[in-house]
Amino acid sequence: MAEQQGQNQTNNPRSAFRYPVAFEEFYAAGLYQMGPVRPDTVYTGDPNRPGPQQRDPVTGLWVWKASVTDPGEPNSRRRSYDILLLSETEPVPTTDELSAGLRPIVLEGLTVQPRVGGQGEFKYLTYTVRAAGYAPAPAPAVSGRGGAGSGRNQS
């Protein structure tokens, strides 16, 4: 019976449903990446011998991790977490670092999957966040010639 219940849970498309969301809606206050992108490996229990890199069971793409900080999260303990990037090649951030290891990012192909976080009686709703990659960096602002007052007829 327990085996059948476990099979139903993994075969049920609703339990693994990923909701597509717009980056600007989910991260209204922006998002900051801390550190490099790294492969998401299978846990082996031995830190000296990491397992092979995981593939996403839905898309078949390699899974990469990035640590992020969400300034829009009101609970400071839940403000930093890992996101998953799904790509055949290592995703490369498109924005410049603000300081060593910290950069603002915008993600493309964002999906969220609700899940239960916490332990014991202290459970809460959280999400597994996945993205197809980084959005292109915004174009730098073009300044006008002539500095302040340009565009005015100064006679």
What confidence tier does 39 reach under pLDDT thresholds 50, 70, 90? very high
The pTM of this model reads: 0.79
Nearest partner of 93 among 141, 139, 136, judged by Cα = 136
Phi and psi based region of residue 5 (left: phi greater than 0; alpha: psi -120 to 50; beta: remaining):
alpha
Residue 140 confidence (pLDDT): 67
What are the residue ranges spanned by the domains of the chain?
16-134
pLDDT tens per residue across span 47-83: 889 899 999 999 999 999 999 999 999 999 999 999 9
Rg (CA), the chain: 21
pLDDT tens per residue across span 69-128: 999 999 999 999 999 999 999 999 999 999 999 999 999 999 999 999 999 999 999 999
- 75, with CB counted inside 10 A (0-12, 13-18, 19+), is exposed
Q: How far is the C-alpha of 87 from the C-alpha of 66, rounded, in Å?
A: 13
| 24 SS3 class | helix
Q: Could you tell me which residues come within 8 angstroms of residue 102 by beta carbon, excluding any fewer than 6 positions away?
A: 32, 33, 34
